[in-house]
Structure 1
């Protein structure tokens, strides 16, 4: 569960270069802007890989921290083996990389099963505040997929 892959050439642009990874302080500022409870998280950039270390409050914050920095232009990998969850051991997250033609309804059906497209709202809510509109997803973006609680 330590390294997660992202598409380096897509995502939010933080720096001034086109394909250069952003600086650690830029990523930390971006992470903190989402108010996820990541105050105790350190960010290190090693080439196009970002290493997250420290502690987050829960599994949701863990997953959101990974996608918040991973969905940044110039980042191809996020290592989170030293990122701990305060309330319990971190579980293996489920992520989905958006493909051309995807929408949240299709993703929900692919992840949860046929006829469960209406569960797209769970995926949207699970990716707030990074997602601000369910119709604004893009190919290469990585989304967290929450478990269904039947």
Structure 2
């Protein structure tokens, strides 16, 4: 399994601000409080995946602190990359662990992700990775449904870069 790093304090808030920043600590009188909090956070992650139409019956998430492990037997490589980004771009998540399925055309190429910096635009990112600023729609489409508008990216967000073909 590979692990991808994300900016823990950037992204969509689905847990609530105070909870995203710190791992849950069990109350002394309730030893299962941490497990219940983890189940609640996984449910919030699954709800976010459902809202993005990325949730399938075979997608399994495991949360350990700020690391999420994603397992799926039926997802193709593109879908797995989108799952990694959808979960990793959530406030409070610092790492995502997952296996990417091998595909003949993509077997030699590891996934290319870009962490948005202040001042970045999809055009500048397309020029850097795809050779032409006019290819920004390809970057936008590669990150749908996480992106709803090509002008709404933010520093710390991680984007998927499509193949140059």
- What TM-score, normalized to structure 1? 0.87
Answering whether residue 67 of structure 2 is matched by residue 40 of structure 1, we say no
2:9 and 2:55 map into 1 onto residues whose CA distance is: 28
Which one has a bigger Cα radius of gyration? 2
- What TM-score, normalized to structure 2? 0.80
- The DSSP-based 3-state class of the residue aligned with 1:55 is coil
Name the structure 2 match of 1:136. 152
1:38 and 1:98 map into 2 onto residues whose CA distance is: 28
Runs of 4+ off more than 3 Å: 87-91
Equivalent of 1:101 in 119, 123, 134: 119
8 A contact 2:85–2:158 mirrored in 1: yes
Name the structure 2 match of 1:16. 16
- The DSSP-based 3-state class of the residue aligned with 2:10 is coil
How is 1:31-110 mapped onto 2 (pairs within 5 angstroms)?
31-36=49-54, 38-81=56-99, 85=101, 88=103, 91=107, 92-110=110-128
| More helix by percentage | 2
Unaligned residue ranges in structure 2 (runs of 5+): 24-37
8 A contact 2:46–2:55 mirrored in 1: no
| Aligned positions, number | 144
Unaligned residue ranges in structure 1 (runs of 5+): none
2:57 and 2:164 map into 1 onto residues whose CA distance is: 28
User: 1:23-63 CA deviation, whole Å, 9 max, x = no partner?
Assistant: 11111121122113633110111010010012243221011
